Amino acid sequence: MDFNDLKSVISRLYDSRSLRVRPAIQQGFEVLTGTPLSDDQLREYLRKGSDADAQPLVSYITEIANADGATLDPKTATPPDSAERIAWILEQLGLSAFSEEIDELLVSPEPSVIVDRVFDDWYTPERAAKNANYWTDYKYVLSRNNWDAASIAAVDEQATQVLRRLTDPTKAEYQSSRGLVVGYVQSGKTANFTALAAKAIDAGYRFIIILAGTMNNLREQTQRRMDKELCGKEAVLDGLDYENLTKEEVKYETYFNEDEEWERDWNDRGGAFLSHGPRYGEPGFPRIRRVTTSKIDYQRKGTNAIDIERPDKSKPMYDPSNLENMKCLVAVVKKNATVLRHFNSDLRRAAGADPEFKNLPVLVIDDESDQASINTRPQKSRGSKEEVDRTAVNEQITEILQNCPRAQYVGYTATPFANVFIDPNDPVDLYPHHFVLMLQEPPAYRGARWFHDRADFADGSEIPTIKNSQSKAFIRDLIDESSVSDDFYDETRRDELQTALDMFVLTGALKKYREAKDPKYSFRHHTMLVHEGVDTAIHQDAAQMLRELWRERGYNLGRPIPEMKQLFEADLLPVMQEKRYNPGYPYPERYEELLPFINEAFAEMMVGVTDGSGPVMQVDTDGKDSPNFEAGKVWKVLVGGTKLSRGYTVEGLTVSYFRRRAGSADTLMQTGRWFGFRKGYQDLVRLYAPADLVEMFEAAMHDEEVFRDNIKAFSELDDDNAPRLTPMKLAPLVRQSLPFLKPTSSSKMFNAYIMKQAAAPHPVEFNSIPVREQKEALRQNFENVAIPMLKTMSSPSVSAAFYRKEGMWKDEVTHRHGVKDYYCGTMPAQQFIQILDAMNWNESINYKQNIVQPLVEYLRGLLGRGRHADPSRSDLLEVGILLPKNKKRGNTPETVSIPGVPFDVPLVVRKRREDRNDITGTDRKDTYVLESIASGNPISVHRQPEIEAMAKAGIHVNADYTPDAEPFDVTGEEAHKRAAVLLTLFDDRDPADVKLAKKLGTYTKPDWSKGEIGVAIAVGSPHAAIKGSEGFLEWGVHLAAPEGEEESPIVDVSAVDGVE
């Protein structure tokens, strides 16, 4: 028995849109097919069929189980969603003997992680069941698209959770809610907000506004999804007779020009447009009027497209009798200021035509809500009553919400960092005040965690192989452009693109092989993405090179190509043979078996190519190519940048050649188009990227996972049954793992500030000391900071190895190395944190609050609080302190005598930079030694990577060198739980005064008790800690404080420590 055949028959027998309980399966199967279905065959189907195979039956049982018993045919008195109801259904379907197998198939979706405030829970199961026309039809769409029952149940639960938190559209009282739904890149967010739209229409919302990205191709892609899966053919035609369209009417829609999905019958295999059936337009099943189309974004016309007809003008707009008999408007609008300005103009016209327009229930769905929607213009007067200065698109979106007072705003994104940095004090902005819902990762989703696991092998205890590492299986390193000459890079890049192109052809052939071996596999699209940057000149160069490589390779000649055979045997075959990547897909054992399918793939790729140049499309403003994934098959190489990144789904993506760097984690993650669902070919996906870029993806993935995990940890209620975390308190949970990769762009973080900051792997200098006139503050620094550190040190000094690499941008690299003398000491971590926290800094730039305090809080977090204060569980035990014993040209350095210090204290030369409120920086020799301490390495000799680098250059640094005794223990636990501090002491008197005193013979040494010696430090925090669970940075956003009080962080940092 073929499971596909049985699934098809069950789909015909049991339509989840019907509440009629059909006859027994075996009886129905024999009537429809003329063939009996035995108990053994049915049991095998229920036990061994996939979730997708069983989905139609499970969906049908679930629908009947949750329905009002009085609405069923036949009726039942059994309670909804009960064991009694399930038993009654199985009896009706002749499945009582299979109850154990059915019970295994029925699923309860994992609860959503929700951060919210108290709300009026109006959307009860009874309210949902009262009218579920659009939702029932959309479930039918998902079922037809081979969604399994668990995935459909999850979408149902998530959309319900969102709708519960919006305002009841039929009530006089309302609030304009703001919410955020956080998914994963390419994980099916469109399905989630389509489900929300369907349920919202059923509940009474009569204007659905979808803000769909900033590019035309994304708006058109979203419009098509809405038309195809929600609005349906009836709404698209809007009274037109499709069989007798005029030439002018054919131009209205792209669908009317031989679109295969529009033409396809619903019961045929492949994508098709929904039809709602004869009940469409009845009370409670409103007709949809689209105010945007597949060809036209919103445009202002002579007549207002936003025309609301209120059937009973004696009653308010939100009255159920009006809503049940009104059309529902649907707009899919690009986030473009001009387009939105026209849209707002017509909203105002509609309000002018009918004062009741203000009571229209409106749902605004903002797709990719962290893009363009955010107000990126900083406010000079935080909390003032003056009008907020906004960016253009943000201004228009907030105006939509003001023009539609009952509008509910729900943002959808996979990268929410920009959203949580919005000013939460702005009453009309888009901060998710009311709720944040975190979507679960779908079971079949192949996202960042599937591809990126190199960090799991960082400790060296296990060697990554194809068997144990997904990164090893799917990621191929590219050369770093900055590390080689231009000529070498150009030559290597050409070879890399050739390999990627070979992989594209081979994986296409493997898809053809699988189609031939098993009819259940069908691959409509097969694509390769080349994304090196946003400049169209880069795209043109890559496209031209790929066309040349295509012509030169001769893929269609039917002969073996040695390089492709090697690629098949060394790269593809070992991965296909692993069960963890290949759950049963057919594959050839020999390259020669694949040769006929290479020709098939070649033919598919060349469809539509008329000049013989190859299947390469340049998708940008210069190339003007645009793949139409809906109109037909796309087997092409797509070269581009912005148009092929955020929000846009590249269907069938199998091979990615990626070099584009981004300055923020959210932008970087959104470029990961290789994330998504790869049914039938997950073992064939390959990513070609430089190793450092892969590291950035892993860091961004880690930061995102920590954010999600923290929210999950805090989403539960406290002992008083109150939320431990509210939407206003999300920002501190954002982490930053790489110092150069911010969570989001700087323009979106004007309202953010750093709450925690590590000082690793590179030390951080703290040089902005009090101004010279603040003698008392300078004196306190020496007494309270410098002297306690100096008293930890011993004499004599020790020599420490330093290294620095010079000429990195030149053809010749110089290795600077040697030794430098330091006085050394150690201090308990707790004591160091206390004196650092007490140190005085420049007050004009809030230096302590913005720069120093984040490190203090980070170190406190490493030290531990509460139960973590146990030293044995701390990530910071002590601090190694260095004081450089600098040599001065021609004579000995300046020194001062300090009681209790067993040596004359040397001073270094530093100058104040008046324009920057700080002093000149730390010598790179010193930072190298600090890094050695903080990384747990000896300081008496060079670190191993530098030794190896110099050895390659013929420099053997330790050949004639006897190192001093090591001043710090590098064998015990302290080695990796030790911070490093460089103490910088200098004569801080006015250089002109010192020079004059020396000239006049009145010079005296600086006196620390008079505030004449400056104190600055550089700190390196333990490297081991940043490789663990503690984040590199934590951010906060400003909250308005009660009048007369200072602004404060959203959450006390102690409340979020150790959540990971």
Query: What is the C-alpha separation between 1000 and 330, in angstroms, rounded?
Result: 86
Spatial strand order of the sheet with 328-333 comes to: 113-116, 435-438, 178-182, 408-413, 362-367, 207-212, 328-333, 288-290
Task: At 627, give phi and psi (nearest 5°).
Answer: -70, 135
Q: Between 810 and 457, where is the model more confident?
A: 457
Helix/strand/coil for 129? helix
Angle between helices 853-863 and 829-838 (to 10 degrees): 160
Beta bridge partners of 926: none
74 cis-preceded (ω within 30 degrees of 0): yes
Average pLDDT over residues 500-512: 98
Using an 8 Å Cβ cutoff, are 657 and 530 in contact? Answer: yes
Pairing of strands 178-182, 408-413: parallel
pLDDT band of 882, cuts 50, 70, 90: very high
Look at residue 225 and tell me whether its pLDDT is greater than 80: yes
For position 808, what pLDDT does the model report?
Answer: 35
Q: What is the pLDDT of residue 752?
A: 61
The percentage of residues in the chain with a pLDDT greater than 70, rounded to a whole number, is: 84
Q: What's the Cα-to-Cα distance from 202 to each of 64, 137, 160, 180, rounded to whole Å?
A: 19, 11, 12, 21
Work out the number of other CB atoms within 10 angstroms of the CB of residue 625: 16
- 713 or 506: whose pLDDT is higher? 506
Cα–Cα distance for residue pair 164/157, rounded to 1 Å: 11
User: 664 or 475: which carries more pLDDT confidence?
Assistant: 475
How many residues in total does the chain contain?
1060
Instruction: Give the per-residue pLDDT at 823.
Output: 96
pLDDT at site 380: 47
**What pLDDT does 290 receive?**
96
- 355-381 tens-digit pLDDT: 999 999 999 999 988 777 767 665 544
Residue 1038 has pLDDT above 60, yes or no: no
Selected residue with higher pLDDT from 31 and 471: 471
843 pLDDT tier (thresholds 50, 70, 90): confident
CB atoms within 10 A of CB 908: 22
Burial of 718 (0-12, 13-18, 19+ CB in 10 A): exposed
Average pLDDT on 311-324 reads 95
Averaged pLDDT, 553-558: 90
* Residue 1020 pLDDT grade (very low, low, confident, very high; cuts 50, 70, 90): very high
Residue 810 has pLDDT above 60, yes or no: no
Residue 149 structure tokens: 């029952």
Cβ atoms within 10 A of the Cβ of 293, count? 18
Domain locations along the chain = 446-701, 759-1030
Q: Which of 520-534, 734-748, 882-896, 1010-1024 has the lowest mean pLDDT?
A: 734-748
Distances (CA, A) of 47 to 26, 366, 584, 667: 16, 41, 17, 44
- Token match 């008293």: residue? 791
DSSP 1007: -
User: Using CA atoms in the order 38, 41, 44, 50, what is the torsion angle rounded to 10 degrees?
Assistant: -130
Q: Which residues contact 248 (CB under 8 A, 6 or more apart)?
A: none
Please provide residue 701's backbone torsions phi and psi, each rounded to the nearest 5 degrees. -65, -45
> 761: cis peptide before it, omega within 30°?
yes
Highest mean pLDDT: which of 94-108, 252-266, 1038-1052? Answer: 252-266
CA neighbours closer than 13 Å in the CB half-sphere of residue 636: 23
State pTM to two decimals.
0.68
- pLDDT tens figures, 739-761: 467 777 766 565 666 677 777 77
Q: How far apart are CA 711 and CA 1059, in angstroms?
A: 9
pLDDT value of residue 382: 42
Interstrand relation of 798-806 and 912-913 (parallel, antiparallel or unpaired): unpaired
Q: What pLDDT does residue 738 have?
A: 58
What's the whole-number mean pLDDT along residues 48-57? Answer: 75
| 987, β-bridge pairs | 1013
**Residue 737's pLDDT is what?**
55
Q: Which two tokens stand for residue 570?
A: 């060394």
Work out the average pLDDT over 1034-1054.
46
Percent of the chain with pLDDT strictly greater than 90: 44
| pLDDT computed for residue 1043 by the predictor | 45
| pLDDT tens digits, 60-80 | 888 788 777 888 888 899 988
Q: Region 329-349: what's the mean pLDDT?
A: 95
Q: What is the residue whose two structure tokens read 């009741």?
A: 356
Highest mean pLDDT among 662-671, 720-729, 772-781, 961-970: 772-781
For residue 387, what pLDDT is reported? 43
Give me 472's structure tokens. Answer: 């090893």
Query: Which of the pair, 971 or 407, is modelled with greater confidence?
Result: 407
Residue of higher predicted confidence among 1046 and 717: 717
The CA distances from residue 265 to 33, 144, 261, 381, 462, in Å, are: 21, 12, 8, 60, 54
Mean pLDDT of the chain: 84
The arithmetic mean of pLDDT across residues 145-165, rounded, is 87
Position of tokens 């990513």? 687
What burial letters (b/e) apply to 437-460, b meaning 16+ CB within 10 Å?
Answer: bbbbbbebbbbbbbbbbbeebeee
pLDDT category of residue 809 using cuts at 50, 70 and 90: very low
Q: Taking CA 245 as the corner, what is the angle to CA 244 and CA 251, rounded to the nearest 5 degrees? A: 165
Least confident stretch, 136-150, 157-171, 808-822, 959-973: 808-822
Return left, alpha or beta for 171; rule: phi > 0 is left, psi -120 to 50 is alpha, else beta.
beta
For 614: left if phi > 0, alpha if psi spans -120 to 50, otherwise beta; the answer is left
